[in-house]
A and B are shown apart, each in its own frame.
Chain A
Amino acid sequence: MMQQDNRLGIVVSGSLSKGVEVRLDNSTSVEDMVVGRYVTIEGHKQRFFGMISDVSLGVTDPNLALTPPDTTDPFLTEVLVGSGTYGQLQVMPYLTIGGNVANIIEGPQPVKTIPSHFSLVNLAQESDIELVFGKEDKERFWIGNPLDMETKLCLNLPEFVKRSNGVFGKSGTGKTFLTRMLLIGMLQKGACVNLVFDMHSEYGWAGTSEKGRTVKALKQLFPAKVAVFTLDEENSRRRGVSTDYVVRMGYDEIEPEDISLVRQTLNLTDQAVEAVYQMKRRFGKDWLRCTTELDDSEETREILNQLNIHDSTFQNLQRGLNTIRRLPFIQERSPKKVVQHVLEYLVRGTNVVLEFGRYTDITAYILVANMLSRRIYSHYREQVEQAMADGIAYPIPLVITIEEAHKFLNPEVAKQTIFGTIAREMRKYNTTLLVIDQRPSGIDDEVMSQLGTKITCLLDNERDRDSVLAGIPGKGELKSVLAKLATKQQALIFGHAVPMPVAFQPREYGSAESYKHFTDLEDSDEQTEKDIEELWD
């Protein structure tokens, strides 16, 4: 009986590359069909699992479209609906489920053929979706529900963090929200350790929802597993955030490579970047202070002459370095190297969220993110190589979350920044990226192609859509799904960690009940009650 209720129509034509065409039954209204929904197709030998990628209207006689019937007459319209006119679906089959031995043992397999003519098409049942996306368990994290369905969509997190991933979407579509949830998932399932460069202070202690309400972030949900570092102590204190460490960087921690990465934002010339290396050779560890303190004297000119640095290049360099010196968290001497401090936490399995506070300026963000990541990455690399040599356990996988990724990964700098390297070298050294960006077209193609799983909210720029979907089978069909996503709380996920692309609605976040699900704490009932009480206060 259930089968009958879910019947949509039959397959009438199609191809593997373009998907199959499904003629809707008379009883099925075309208005009930939604792009992105799942269907199963009962082929003669196997079952197929696919997604609706387009909905269209057809007429059997072109005259009908040229001289349409009098619509004031319900009888004529009633007769013609489903006979002279009909609804049609374009369905992209992605997987075969059940049927043959391989499917039963290994689960759903990618399609290599299409269902035969007149195969029955049904709306996918919850059990089918569960079969494809798995149930919530030790490794799978519930991220939301497929559009218009109650079924849980689960993501295999250990598989997810094996590669670099991306979260895209134009501003205000819920990227931060999604990322926070993914981070919670990684914490909940203990799949990896995270280092989050939190540009807008949304992930550490509390974030804000679209409605302006404050929602709990990582530290509040997992106090034992998360450490909040801040660059701006005052800002954190004002927001009532309990921070674990105030980041201060010494001049001696900045190296010439760090300067070359902020070249664009500091407006430095090629010669000026080259001069940095010479200064380092000349002054050693203290080069930054020395370079900026060189005054307009005979002695300085002599040094410049020796190093063969032109005066205008030097001016350019000094201006740039002064911008860095003015950043309040950069100090002449810092008590402890911040990199080591971060590493200590990460090695212990504690996740680190670095809040930027008021320093949302892109120079500060790029500089700090690059400086830390480069050193942490090289440490990880050493550890992995050591582990390989000694045959001991690898370090816990590290996921580095960066926002405004196109600033790090655009084609001009992707080759130089550490993030370009991490994205390309991927899991070899157990370090991957979670890239968050609103202009994916600004990211280097090579980096984009290496991202394992991509989650994208609405993108309305054609180039951005092309860039996100580049190289995906059935790109045209997915593009139409992507273009039709709602502006909020809808996203499309595809790639390595999911068996097929899915448009979904992220799970609820921000209510007391939702926190309870996220934390899995023993005293969660108590906590929930407390939260509910707080809501009434």
Chain B
Amino acid sequence: MVTQKEQRIGEVIETSTATFTTQSYQLYDLPPLGSLVKTRNKELELFAVVSNATTTGLEPGRKAIARGKDEESEEAIYKSSPQLEKLLKSEFEALVVGHRTVGKINHFLPPVPARMHSFVYICPVEEVREFSQSPSFINILLNTNPTLPQNELIVTCLRQISLAQEDSHHFLVTAGKHLARLLGDYNQLQSILERIKQ
């Protein structure tokens, strides 16, 4: 299933059935919040939505200090302290929203979680379209408990995925209708809809 457009971005460093955390190979090379990423566990392809991202020091106990007082630009800080690139790491969490077995995409949790050090890819546009043909992946987003506020995650995810669509308006309307059925709470629905409209 590897296509040329797949862009490898990092590898899994923490994993569970519902989420996994990926460390990016490059500092700050993070996929946009709400975008679709994937990883593999043998034959199984796991799809996940980026739900949070962090950049911290390698050593958990050691805090970063301000370095740019005498520098002219932010870039200059990294130039004058090239070790920073090695001492910092960028990570992102992703919520598993579906998987592919035997060529078929399912919008429910996979039987096994991602493996440690599995490669993580940003999904190419075609795959995002294929995955989002049905809006039922939203069900999982509604049922998990992400670090960020749930509504924010749904809004950014739908906006991100709509970018890959040929007819993004149609996608958003379909997803909106699906949400309306799932939520039943008109006020929550309205706050989401107002932010996903283009």
Please state if B173 and A78 are interface contacts (CB–CB under 8 Å). Answer: yes
B164-192 interface code vs A (CB 8 A; 1 in, 0 out): 00000100110011101100111101100
Tell yes or no: A462 within 8 A of B by CB: no
A79 and B184 contact, CB distance less than 8 A: no
Q: Which of A64, A78, A80, A83 has most chain B Cβ within 10 Å? A: A83
The smallest C-beta distance from A72 to any residue of chain B, in angstroms, reads: 12
A64 with B193: CB separation less than 8 A = no
A83 to B183 Cα, complex, angstroms? 11
* Distance in Å: Cβ of B170 to nearest Cβ of chain A: 10
Task: Tell me the total A-B contact number using a CB cutoff of 8 A.
Answer: 43
Residues in chain A near residue B194, CB distance under 8 A: 73, 76
Interface size on A, residues (CB 8 A): 16
Whether B173 contacts A84 by the Cβ 8 Å rule is no
Contact B181 A79, beta carbon cutoff 8 Å: no
The A contact surface, by secondary structure, is: loop
Report the separation of the CA atoms of residues A61 and B198 in the bound assembly, to the nearest whole angstrom. Answer: 25
Once A73-B197, A75-B172, A76-B193 are accepted as A-B contacts, the answer to whether A64 and B186 lie under 8 Å apart by CB is yes
| Residue from the list A63, A76, A78, A82 in contact with B187, Cβ < 8 A | A63
**In whole angstroms, how far apart are the Cα atoms of A67 and B185 in the complex?**
13
Instruction: Please report the C-alpha to C-alpha distance between residue A73 and residue B189 in the assembled complex, in whole angstroms.
Output: 15
Within the complex, the shortest CB–CB distance from A192 to chain B, in Å, comes to 59
Q: Which residues of B contact A82 (CB under 8 A)?
A: 177
Determine if A80 and B180 form an interchain contact, defined as CB atoms under 8 angstroms apart: yes
Residue of A nearest to B169 (CB): A75
In angstroms, Cα B181 to Cα A79, docked, is 11
Residues of A within 8 A of B177 (CB): 26, 79, 82-83
A75–B181 touching, CB < 8 Å: no
Find out whether the CB atom of B180 lies under 8 angstroms from the CB atom of A75.
no
The 8 Å CB contact of A83, one of B172, B181, B185, B187, is B181
Q: Are B180 and A79 in contact (CB under 8 A)?
A: yes
Residue of B nearest to A61 (CB): B186
Specify which chain B residues have a CB less than 8 angstroms from the CB of A63 in the assembled complex: 186-187
Let me know if A60 is at the binding interface, CB within 8 A: yes
A79 and B176 contact, CB distance less than 8 A: yes
Contact in complex: B193, A61 (CB < 8 Å): no
Q: Within 8 Å CB of B187, what residues of A? A: 63
| B186 contacts A84, C-beta separation under 8 Å | yes
- Contact call A79/B173, Cβ cutoff below 8 A: yes
**Is A328 part of the binding interface, using a Cβ–Cβ cutoff of 8 Å?**
no
Q: Which residues of A contact B190 (CB under 8 A)?
A: 69, 76
A75 and B197 contact, CB distance less than 8 A: yes
Q: How far is the CA of A495 from the CA of B80 in the complex (A)?
A: 98
Closest-by-CB residue of A relative to B185 is: A61
**Contact A61/B184 with A75-B173, A82-B177, A83-B177 known, Cβ cut-off 8 Å:** yes
- B186 touching A83, Cβ below 8 Å: no
Please determine whether B180 and A83 come into contact, CB atoms closer than 8 angstroms.
Answer: yes
CB distance from B149 to the nearest CB of A (A): 21
Chain A residue at minimum C-beta to C-beta distance from B197: A75
Q: Mark A1-31, 1 if CB is under 8 A from B, else 0.
A: 0000000000000000000000000100000
A255 to chain B, nearest CB (A): 78
Contact B186–A79 (Cβ < 8 Å): no
Which of A67, A73, A75: most chain B CB closer than 10 A? A75
The docked-state distance in angstroms from the alpha carbon of A76 to that of B190 is 8
Chain B residues proximal to chain A, CB less than 8 Å: 169, 172-173, 176-178, 180-181, 184-187, 189-190, 193-194, 197-198
The 6 closest A-B pairs by CB, nearest first: A79-B176, A83-B180, A83-B177, A75-B197, A61-B186, A63-B186
Besides A76-B197, A79-B172, 17 new A-B residue pairs in contact (Cβ under 8 A), listed by A number:
A26-B177, A60-B180, A60-B184, A61-B184, A63-B187, A67-B186, A69-B190, A73-B197, A75-B198, A76-B193, A76-B194, A78-B173, A78-B176, A79-B177, A82-B177, A84-B186, A84-B189
Q: List A residues at the B interface (Cβ < 8 Å).
A: 26, 60-61, 63-64, 67, 69, 73, 75-76, 78-80, 82-84
Between A and B, 10 residue pairs with Cβ closer than 8 Å are A26-B177, A60-B180, A61-B185, A61-B186, A63-B186, A67-B186, A75-B173, A76-B197, A79-B193, A84-B186
